[in-house]
Every structure is written in C-alpha cells, then in structure tokens.
Structure 1
C-alpha cells in the first residue's frame, strides 16, 4: 500500500505540471528551461549529499561509457522539457497529454525495432492503432501532431537509452542536468549582458520564486517514484503512469477550456483503445512469464529429487 501511495503522489504531481508551468507562461520557454535545469541540478545534488549517495555519484562520473550515454539522455530530456513548457505556454496542453499517452506505445515500438524485443500480438495491434491515430489527426485536422509526437519520441528514446544503460533516477538526473548546466548558464549569461535585457528572473519576487521552484518540482516526484518503484511490481507502475496524461487531459478540457473538436476526440479514442490493448497484452505476457517460471522451478525440483 505504501508503494502505491508513493506512486500515486508522484504521478499526481507530474499530472499537475501544466497548472504549475502555466504560472510561468509569461516567461520565455527557454528561460524557464534554463532555470529548471540549474535548480534541478542544485536540488538533486543536495539530496545526494543528504542521503549519503556521494560515493555512488562519483563512481558514475568516472564511468566514461555511462557518461557518454547520459550526455545523449541529457539532450533528450531537455528537449522534452522545452517542448512541454512551450506547449503549456501556448495553451496546447491537450496535445502534451496526447504525447504522454503515446509514449509507452512509442517505447514499445522502439524496443521492437531497435532491441528486437518480442511483442504480444495485442501490443502489436496497439502500435498499429497509434499510427492510425496520428494519420487521422493529420487527415481530419490538417495538421501534423508534432507536439505530441516530439514529446513521445524524445521521452521514448530517453527511456530506451536509460533501459540499455541503467542508472538510478536520482544520480541519473543529477548528471544529466550537470552536463547541460553549462549551456543553460551560458544562455542566461548571454541574455543578461545583451543590450536588450529580457530575463524575467529577478524581475519580481513571485516569478523568481516560481523559477527556483521548478527545480524542486522536478526533484520531488522523481524521489517519490524511485521509492515507489522499489515497492511495486512494474505492471502496477505501468498502470498508474496513466494518471499523468489523464490529469493533463482533464486540466486542458475543464480548467484551460482548450478547443476539443470531435475529430480530436476520435484521435483520443484510438489512443485510449490502443492503451487498453497494450496493458492487456502486457498483463498476458507477465502471466505467461510467471507460469513458465513456476513450471521451470517445478521441473528443476523434480530433477534434483
């Protein structure tokens, strides 16, 4: 129960991100991103020190292979954050929610194509429905859903690399933000010394505090999720993760009153159906795997006897 509550808290905070970043919609998306990177690094670094994880963090810094791949994931997660921040500022939260609904399906297809992982037939159908949803969006609304696809692809590739080269969430995010930190700080410095001084940080107390809080808001759900993942099965975590895009969708419709034409409802129906098939296929695959493990153990026990 404790693990479930931690997971619910993490995904609920992530689901509320549109409400938080909407408070910064008057700030340049790049400035918000730069501040999120800087303050996230400082907060996660402090947490590492408090939790006594400095030795494992230093070992990670000394691993050249992992550092090269984390340089890639730092670019991917920064791209994902920038598109999301921009989408919220442009009142396109419905498209960001669609992107995070699509993420597990994109991850599934990437794993199949690049890692040659086996797919349950229901999951293959789910991937096909996701492709149909994109095609329908392009046909019915006459616009390519680049916000949704960019979020899904950037986070899908991010998850793929992190799966191949696993690093715990806290150390991983700290290194990723540390690697992109010079660019973030350099951009802020360039803006500060430019003749047309445009930075909102320091312009007023509320905006400054919100920019600092973006780092705290990034770290808190990560820590909650890390604690939850140790206590829950991956199947449960996979189900709970849909709280995030669902909350984003409801915020877009009920709070931000974004336009929701019937054509887009069809897109979401395709995606929601695909997710049901995806989860069903994952459940059947897990059930088969558990059954096979039990049979293997029973067979080995009989052979020993």
Structure 2
C-alpha cells in the first residue's frame, strides 16, 4: 500500500464512522423540533467551514468572483444544495421518528438506484449483472413492503436523493472546497432565515428552553456535518476503486446495526429476508463494478501500448500532427468530440437550459 493510500484509509474510516453513528448524535435531539434540528447543522457547518476555506484560499476576490461565482456554477450548486438538504431532511425524519433501519435501507439501495438513474436519464445500457442486481434488490423491497403493509417511502426517498446527489457530484465543475462553500452557502441562507423567524416568534429552543447540553449539541452538529465531508473528499482520490467500494458500506451497516441493536427497532424475520436480498444484490453490484473497472483499466493500458508503437500511415494524421497535435489527441477527438462524454453532454445541456430559464 502506498503512503498516500495509508493516509487515505484512516481518513475514510473516520468519515464513515462519523456518518454511520450520526443517528446516535441526532437521536439526542428528540426534544428539539425537526425544522430546528435541520437548520442548525447547516448554519454552524457554514460558519465552521468559512475560516477553513479562507485559510486555504489563495485567489483574490476578482479572480474568485470570475471563476467561482458564475451563473452556471450558481445554478449547478443551488441544485446540488437542494438535493443535499432533502437528503438530510429524510435522514432526520427517520432518526426522529424511530425509522433508522428504514434509512439504512435507503443507503444500501442508493448504488442500485444509481444504475437505474443512469439508464433512465442518460440512456446507458446496463451490464448483464446490473440487471440481476436490480432484480434482486426489487425482490427485497417487495418482501419488506409486504411485511410492513406499506411501501418504505422514507427509506426509498432517502436512497433516491442520495443517488441523485452522488450523480450530480460526478459532474462537479469546481474543486471540492469551492463547491462545498457554495452548497453550504445556499443552505445557510434559508436556514438562518428560519431560525431568525422562530427567534422573533419566541419559539426557538436554542439558548432559550433548551438545556446547556442541547445547545452544545446543536452547535456541534456543524462539526458533524463538515468534518466527515472534508475527510471523505480527502480520502476519495487516494484510494483504489476496489477498496473504496467495499469500505463505503461501513456507513449503512453501522446505521442498520444502531437501529436494530441500540434503539431496538422492530426487525422481523421477513424484514431480514428482504434485507438479505438487498445485501446479495449489493454483492453482485460491487463485484460487477470492480470487474468492470479492472477491465477498463486493462483496456486503457493496452490502447496506450498500441498507440506508442503504431506507425504513422495516414496522410491526414501526419498533416495534423505536424501542426502540433499528437495521434492520441486526434484519436480522442474522433471518439469523444469536444472532450465530452454523451452522459456529460446530456447533463450539461440540462444545466445550460436551467441557466437560461432562471437567469
């Protein structure tokens, strides 16, 4: 294992352990109204992140304004902030109302939902084992819904929002720090307005009816929000896809175990059968993803080797390369015009349309 990977593993583990145990933290805020529990993490998280961002920011204000505060970026990160806020809302609703196990179901389902999103939104052709994985996951959802006599809307909604957010972040157009700053800023403003209104109405519990421990927990929610995000972003580029894929399941597994064994939520044998189906689908999905990633990496290496030994036989190619373009550049242009994948083209078209309508 490389030195960078050795640093990435503990960073990712700490991040996932915090995420996985968040339900315990927020469970201590049962006496605080849900809307206030939702607002305080984003308020304190933004205030905590600002000095960190300022200490790492080297660009002056005009440069920052020209490169970060563009209309396109503001549209993009406003959308991602809305999805992130919705994901947080469904998570807190599950914790506050004794449905932590259902929330863990959403976390487990989010990779499978990502496949469905890729098919529906980007018209991607699923691989054979992805079909199998989705089918097994659906069977698990049916078993759980039958046992509960209701569809697990909260968990399903949380998983869907989590999958949409992950999809959006794949097209992130700014470095992580700048992107997170915009997301937190978009969430900070409405959350601050809500807290100020509640303060004026005399219904805010912070520094009023709440005890000292609750006040400190509300402030600490900013740390719980920002720190794992920073550690996760630091670790992601340092680790291999295989290792990262397997470690990521620590978060939903911890959430599931906390719901069942710490808070003693109802978990029948029928629910267990449904979860087993979903776990099996995740094993199939992860193994297929790892195999596909290795195959693509091997094909890329083979293409690079072929390019190094390929003779110049085409006159047009020779003319183009004489103007300073390499064969690899020309091949890339032929296969991938304008440096843009079909998936990115669809996504960028959506952002451009929103940009034109909104602004």
TM range (shorter): over 0.9
Query: Does the 8 Å contact 1:7/1:225 carry over to 2?
Result: yes
Distance 1:178 1:60, change over 3 A: farther
Q: Is residue 47 from structure 1 mapped to residue 48 from structure 2 by the alignment?
A: no
Structure 1 counterpart of 2:303: 296
CA distance in 2, matches of 1:267, 1:60: 48
The residue correspondences of 1:99-118 to structure 2 (distance < 5 A) are 99-118=106-125
Of the three residues 70, 73, 78, the one matched with 1:66 is 73
1:8 matches 2:13: yes
Paired residues, what number? Answer: 303
Who is 2:172 aligned against?
Answer: 165
19-28 or 48-57, larger mean C-alpha shift? 48-57
Please point out which of 224, 243, 251 is paired with 1:244.
Answer: 251
- Aligned counterparts, 1:133-172, within 5 A: 133-172=140-179
* 2:87 corresponding residue in structure 1: 80
Corresponding residue of 2:31: 26
TM-fit CA distance, 1:139: 2.2
Identify the range of structure 1 (135-144 vs 65-74) with the bigger mean alpha-carbon deviation: 135-144
Look up the SS of the partner of 2:170 in the other structure: helix
Partners in 1 of 2:101 and 2:90 — Cα distance? Answer: 13
SS in 2 for 1:128: helix
Calculate the TM-score normalised by the size of structure 1: 0.93
> In structure 1, what is the equivalent of residue 40 of structure 2?
35
| Contact 1:120–1:282 (CA under 8 A) maintained in structure 2 | no
| Cα distance in 2 between the residues matched to 1:124 and 1:59 | 44
- Aligned residue for 1:91, secondary structure, equals coil
1:230 to 200, 225, 237: 237
Q: TM-score, with normalisation over the residues of structure 2?
A: 0.80
Give the deviation of 1:251 after TM superposition.
0.9
Which residue in 2 is equivalent to 1:201?
Answer: 206
How far 1:5 sits from its partner (Å)?
Answer: 1.5
Structure 1 residue runs without a partner (length 5+): none
Distance 1:118 1:166, change over 3 A: farther
Cα distance in 2 between the residues matched to 1:57 and 1:104: 35
Deviates more, 1:118-127 or 1:219-228: 118-127
Q: Conserved in 1, the CA contact under 8 Å of 2:113 and 2:163? A: yes
1:132 matched to 2:113? The reply is no
Contact 2:241 2:290 in 1 (8 A): no
How far apart, in 2, do the equivalents of 1:124 and 1:293 lie?
A: 25
